[in-house]
A and B are shown apart, each in its own frame.
Chain A
Amino acid sequence: MATKTFSVAKLPGFTTTAIIVFIALYLPIFTLVAYSFNASQSVAVWGGFSWDWYGKAWANDQVKDATLRSLIIAVSAALISTAVATMAALGTTRRKAFKGQTFIYVMINQPLMVPEIVTAVALLIMFGIIKQATGIQGLGYVIFAHAAFCIPFAYLPIRARLEGMDLSLETAAADLYATPWQTFRHVTLPLLLPGVIAGAMLAFVISLDDVVITEFVKSGGQDTLPTYMLGQMRRQLTPEINAISSMLLALTVVLLTAFFLLTRKND
Chain B
Amino acid sequence: MTQNTAVEARHAVKAFGQGDNAVRALDDVSIEIRKGEFFTLLGPSGCGKTTLLRLIAGFEMPTSGTILLDGQDITYLPPNQRPVNTVFQSYALFPHLTVAQNVGFGLQMQGRPKAEVKETVARMLALVKLEPMANRKTSQLSGGQQQRVALARALAPKPKVLLLDEPLSALDLKLRKEMQIELKRLQTETGITFVFVTHDQEEALTMSDRIGVMSAGKLQQIGAPKDIYTRPVNRFVASFIGETNFLPATAEAGAARLATGDLIDLPGLAGSGHVTVTVRPEQVRLVETTDPGAIAATVKSMVYFGTDTHCYMALKDGTEVVARLQSPATGEAGLQQGQQVGLRFAPGAAQIVED
Contact of B88 with A by CB under 8 A: yes
Contact (Cβ within 8 A) A179 B80: yes
> CA A174 – CA B85 in complex, angstroms?
10
Contact of B217 with A by CB under 8 A: no
Contact (Cβ within 8 A) B157 A191: no
Interfacial chain A residues near B85, Cβ < 8 Å: 175-176
> CA A171 – CA B109 in complex, angstroms?
14
Task: Name the residue of chain A whose CB is nearest to the CB of B153.
Answer: A176
Summed over the interface, the residue pairs from A and B with CB atoms below 8 Å come to a total of: 61
Q: Please provide the chain B residues from 73 to 105 with a CB less than 8 Å away from any CB of chain A in the complex.
A: 78-81, 84-86, 88, 90, 92-96, 105
Contact (Cβ within 8 A) A168 B109: no
Contact (Cβ within 8 A) B96 A176: no
Known: A171-B59, A172-B86. A177 touches B92 (CB 8 A): no
Indicate which residue in A168, A178, A186 contacts B90 across the interface (CB closer than 8 Å): A168
Known: A172-B86, A175-B80, A179-B80. A166 touches B109 (CB 8 A): no
Interfacial chain B residues near A190, Cβ < 8 Å: 96
Interfacial chain B residues near A177, Cβ < 8 Å: 80-81, 106, 109-110, 157
Contact of B350 with A by CB under 8 A: no
> CA A59 – CA B121 in complex, angstroms?
59
Indicate which residue in B78, B88, B157 contacts A172 across the interface (CB closer than 8 Å): B88
> CA A172 – CA B92 in complex, angstroms?
6
Task: Name the residue of chain A whose CB is nearest to the CB of B57.
Answer: A175
Most A Cβ at <10 Å: residue of B88, B90, B105, B106: B105
Task: Name the residue of chain A whose CB is nearest to the CB of B89.
Answer: A168
Contact (Cβ within 8 A) B94 A187: yes
Contact of A182 with B by CB under 8 A: yes
Interfacial chain B residues near A175, Cβ < 8 Å: 57-59, 79-80, 84-86, 154
Indicate which residue in B78, B88, B105, B154 contacts A168 across the interface (CB closer than 8 Å): B88
> CA A55 – CA B41 in complex, angstroms?
77
Contact of A44 with B by CB under 8 A: no
Contact of A169 with B by CB under 8 A: yes
Contact of A43 with B by CB under 8 A: no
Contact (Cβ within 8 A) B109 A182: yes
Most B Cβ at <10 Å: residue of A173, A174, A176: A176
Interfacial chain A residues near B106, Cβ < 8 Å: 176-177
A106 to chain B, nearest CB (A): 27
Contact (Cβ within 8 A) B79 A174: yes
B199 to chain A, nearest CB (A): 19
Contact (Cβ within 8 A) B59 A173: no
Indicate which residue in A172, A174, A191 contacts B96 across the interface (CB closer than 8 Å): A191
Contact (Cβ within 8 A) A173 B96: no
Most B Cβ at <10 Å: residue of A174, A175, A190, A191: A175
Contact (Cβ within 8 A) A168 B80: no
> CA A182 – CA B79 in complex, angstroms?
13
Contact with B along A166-209 (1 / 0, CB 8 A): 10110111111111001000110011000000000000000000
> CA A182 – CA B81 in complex, angstroms?
13
Task: Name the residue of chain B whose CB is nearest to the CB of A183.
Answer: B80
> CA A166 – CA B94 in complex, angstroms?
10
B31 to chain A, nearest CB (A): 21
Task: Name the residue of chain B whose CB is nearest to the CB of A167.
Answer: B92
> CA A172 – CA B106 in complex, angstroms?
10
B117 to chain A, nearest CB (A): 12
> CA A78 – CA B95 in complex, angstroms?
28
Contact (Cβ within 8 A) A168 B92: yes
16 pairs of residues in contact across A and B, judged by CB atoms under 8 Å: A168-B88, A169-B92, A169-B94, A169-B95, A171-B79, A172-B93, A172-B94, A174-B59, A174-B78, A174-B79, A175-B59, A175-B79, A175-B84, A177-B81, A177-B106, A182-B109
Identify the B interface with A (CB < 8 A).
Answer: 57-59, 78-81, 84-86, 88, 90, 92-96, 105-106, 109-110, 153-154, 157
Query: 16 new A-B pairs (CB below 8 Å) besides A166-B90, A168-B92, A171-B88?
Result: A172-B86, A172-B88, A174-B78, A174-B79, A174-B80, A175-B58, A175-B84, A175-B86, A176-B80, A176-B154, A177-B80, A177-B109, A178-B109, A182-B109, A186-B109, A191-B96
